[in-house]
Amino acid sequence: MHIVLIEPEIPGNTGNIARLCAATGIELHLVKPLGFSIDDKHLKRAGLDYWHLVKVHVHENFAEVKAMYPEHKFHYCSTKAPRAHSEAQFGRDDMLVFGKETAGIPEDILKANWEHCIRIPMIEGARSLNLSNAAAIVAYEAMRQLDYANLLQEGPGTRS
């Protein structure tokens, strides 16, 4: 599975998502322009010592991602989407796409892929969730649907 961040702006969010990717084996794709340097201390701090577990790809633009992964199914996460993330059918190689913190996924991308747009249900009047929280919610729903494939489902002290 893959998480794609289109033009992320806040290093702490990207670091948290990198940690999520490390814990789940999800690959992380960062689409330029980035609102920070990949060497940013806040980015590294948020990811703690998990960076060696994350496969990170940096792309010049979103078209490059689409061209590199033509056979993959893309899910576009937006507060504007017509259906809940839990209604989507996720597969092992799917791409979970998120937009930048201040604007979300660009309108032209949403319109071109409307049938693949999903949202996290919220109460009326709530604008959005934090990007790293949203990524975790959608990623873990996808992993749940895949029966947490390749993830340990019991704690280190619970095995016989």
Q: State mean pLDDT over 108-112.
A: 97
**Is pLDDT above 60 for 155?**
yes
CB 137 within 8 A of CB 98: no
Question: Which residue ranges are tagged as binding site for S-adenosyl-L-methionine?
Answer: 99, 120, 128
Counting residues of the chain whose pLDDT is more than 70, the rounded percentage is 90
Question: Which residue ranges are tagged as binding site?
Answer: 99, 120, 128
**Buried/exposed code over 112-143 (b: 16+ C-beta within 10 A; e: otherwise):** ebeebbbbbeeeeeeeeeebbebbbebbebbb
The pLDDT-based confidence of 87 (bands split at 50, 70, 90) is very high
pLDDT of the residue at 37: 80
Give, in order, the Cα–Cα distances in Å from 45 to each of 11, 18, 19, 147: 9, 11, 10, 31
- In tens, the pLDDT along 114-134 reads 999 999 999 999 989 999 999
- In tens, the pLDDT along 42-56 reads 556 655 567 788 999
Counting residues of the chain whose pLDDT is more than 90, the rounded percentage is 78
| Domains of the chain, residue spans | 2-145
Architecture of the CATH domain 2-145: 3-Layer(aba) Sandwich (3.40)
